[in-house]
């Protein structure tokens, strides 16, 4: 499997060592490095600094939390204002890369109230002054491939989007993903698989995004359990390609109900993002594969939806809807991701109803199958006895 060549993506073991060349090509002289406090060193990404610091002055900034927050973002924007870089280098998981994109999007804003107002308007990000290079250290978020980023103001989540959020260059180095813990590899990898799965049924999907999604699933399904339990350079390479292709798919299609529900699991019960998506994705797979034309949004073509579900079942090697759900759930369990709600502190229907009530309506509208809040509650509550 080869990556699409319409974007500048540098793929391969030790690709991170070429960072200095890529920065030089972009005429970067002052680079602000956005990275996790520990993952940058632990992953081996810090090996890029020896040569990079010979061609550019580098300011490292890591003072942000895992879920990108406006309170952290304003501090980063003040660092950018003080350092005056010409390039942003984001190295890490989804939070680090989202933060790098957001710093480019809101460069020049150093007042918190002004920043909050800009975020709340949701205006498309159509231009940026800084060059942007992204290098994921996990195989999962796909942030390096998407034109959007997530940011919270308190408990309110906002998705910021626009063509200027796409990086100039992506560095995909599979070696960087091998040092993560098995749980980190599992939760990030299952998120990539979820993105590809949702892209096959999303109302916003296109023929191109469905192609990316199917290619991603073909790579991820056989590779993910091995990547978690017995990782090798070869399987890490397949995961890196698969997660990037899933990101390319979701960049077009956007996520759907499983992702919309996941944020409540994370915010209220501390379930890691990919794991939170996995808690309901199996049920959504079955519901989408069983859906009749009467269950679909008016804008959805029943034939297109049916074809997408046939593709999904074939990708999982499943005979029918229930088998597809079982196969996904088996992958999650093999990766050490328990799916019983009680194991995450969710034991009552009232808790489930609260989660359903907080669903992002925009993402629910991208779901081809119509779900009311009551129907979402029923779907999730079925897992209380599972």
Evaluate whether 181 touches 39 at the Cβ level (below 8 Å). Answer: no
pLDDT digit string, tens, across residues 127-143? 999 999 999 999 988 99
| pLDDT (mean) for 225-244 | 97
Return all residues near 50 (Cβ < 8 A) that are at least 6 apart.
none
* Token output for 232: 């090798």
- Reported as half-sphere exposure (CB side, CA atoms, 13 A), residue 100 has a value of 37
Q: Is 30 helix (H, G, I), strand (E, B) or coil?
A: strand
Region 302-314: mean pLDDT is: 95
H-state helical runs in 84-146 = 94-105, 112-121
3-state percent helix, strand, coil for the chain, nearest multiple of 5: 60, 10, 30
* pLDDT attached to residue 271: 95
Top pLDDT among 194 and 362 is at: 194
Question: What pLDDT is stored for residue 10 in this prediction?
Answer: 96
Residue ranges per structural domain of the chain? 8-176, 181-382
CATH topology of domain 181-382: Dehydroquinate synthase-like, alpha domain (1.20.1090)
With a CB cutoff of 8 Å and minimum separation 6, the contacts of 6 are: none
Q: Could you tell me which of 249, 267, 146, 143 has the C-alpha nearest to residue 195?
A: 249
148-153 and 156-161 strand pairing: antiparallel
CATH class held by domain 8-176: alpha beta
pLDDT by residue (tens digit) across 35-89? 998 889 999 999 999 999 999 999 999 999 888 999 999 999 999 999 999 999 9
Tokens of 4: 């699409």
Please choose, from the candidates 176, 158, 162, the residue with its C-alpha nearest in 3D space to the C-alpha of residue 16: 176
Q: What are phi and psi of 305, to 5 degrees?
A: -65, -45
Evaluate if residue 302 carries a pLDDT over 70.
yes
SS3 175: helix
Q: What is the tally of helices (H) and strands (E) in the chain?
A: 16, 8
User: Three-state DSSP class for 334?
Assistant: helix
Asked if pLDDT for residue 307 goes beyond 90, the answer is yes
Residues 169, 8 contacting (CB under 8 angstroms): yes
Is the model more confident about 2 or about 181?
181
Whole-number pLDDT of residue 156: 86
CA distance 175 to 299: 43
Residues sharing a CB contact under 8 Å with residue 11, sequence separation 6 or more, in sequence order? 3, 172, 173, 240, 241
Please write the tens of the pLDDT for every residue from 275-291.
999 999 999 999 999 99
pLDDT digits (tens, 9 = 90+) for 211-224: 999 999 999 999 99
Q: Would you state the pLDDT for residue 326?
A: 97
CA proximity to 3, closest of 223, 199, 238, 204: 238
Pairing of strands 30-35, 87-92: parallel
- Pairwise CA distance, residues 85 & 83, whole Å: 6
Q: What is the pLDDT of residue 358?
A: 85
The predicted structure's pLDDT at residue 386: 56
Higher pLDDT, 67 or 192: 192
Q: Rounded distance, CA 245 to CA 299, Å? A: 26
User: What pLDDT is attached to residue 318?
Assistant: 97
Average pLDDT over the chain, rounded to an integer: 94
Average pLDDT over residues 241-260: 95
| Residue 354: band (very low, low, confident or very high) from pLDDT cuts 50, 70, 90 | very high
pLDDT at 43: 96
pLDDT at 263: 86
Q: What is the pLDDT of residues 325-353, one digit of tens each?
A: 999 999 999 999 999 999 999 999 999 99
């Amino acid at each position: 499997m080869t990556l699409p060549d319409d974007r500048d993506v540098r793929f391969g073991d030790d690709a991170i060592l070429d960072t200095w060349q890529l920065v030089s090509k972009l005429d970067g002289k002052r680079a602000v490095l956005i990275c996790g406090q520990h993952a940058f060193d632990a992953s081996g990404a810090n090996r890029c600094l020896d040569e990079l610091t010979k061609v550019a002055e580098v300011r490292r900034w890591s003072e942000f939390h895992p879920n990108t927050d406006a309170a952290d973002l304003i501090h980063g924007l003040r660092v950018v204002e003080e350092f005056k870089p010409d390039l942003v280098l984001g190295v890490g998981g989804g939070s680090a890369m989202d933060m790098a994109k957001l710093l480019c999007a809101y460069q020049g804003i150093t007042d918190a109230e002004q920043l909050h107002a800009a975020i709340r308007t949701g205006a498309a990000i159509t231009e940026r002054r800084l060059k942007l290079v992204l290098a994921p250290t996990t195989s999962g978020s796909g942030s390096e491939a998407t034109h959007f980023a997530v940011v919270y103001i308190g408990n309110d989540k906002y998705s910021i989007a626009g063509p200027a959020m796409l990086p100039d260059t992506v560095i995909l180095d599979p070696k960087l993903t091998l040092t993560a813990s098995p749980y980190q590899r599992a939760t990030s990898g299952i998120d990539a698989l979820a993105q590809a799965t949702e892209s096959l049924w999303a109302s916003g999907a296109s023929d191109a995004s469905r192609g990316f999604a199917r290619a991603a699933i073909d790579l991820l399904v056989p590779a993910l359990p091995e990547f978690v339990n017995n990782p090798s350079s070869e399987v890490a390479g397949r995961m890196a390609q698969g997660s990037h292709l899933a990101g390319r798919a979701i960049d077009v299609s956007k996520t759907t109900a499983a992702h919309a529900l996941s944020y409540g699991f994370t915010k209220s019960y501390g379930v890691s993002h990919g794991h939170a998506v996995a808690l309901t994705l199996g049920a959504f797979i079955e519901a989408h594969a069983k859906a009749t034309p009467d269950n679909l949004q008016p804008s959805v073509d029943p034939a297109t939806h049916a074809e997408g579900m046939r593709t999904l079942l074939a990708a999982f090697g499943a005979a029918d809807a229930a088998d597809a759900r079982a196969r996904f759930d088996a992958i999650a369990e093999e990766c050490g991701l328990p799916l019983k709600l009680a194991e995450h502190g969710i034991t009552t229907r009232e808790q489930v109803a609260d989660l359903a009530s907080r669903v992002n309506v925009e993402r629910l509208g991208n779901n081809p199958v119509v779900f009311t809040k009551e129907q979402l509650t029923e779907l999730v509550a079925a897992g209380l006895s599972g």
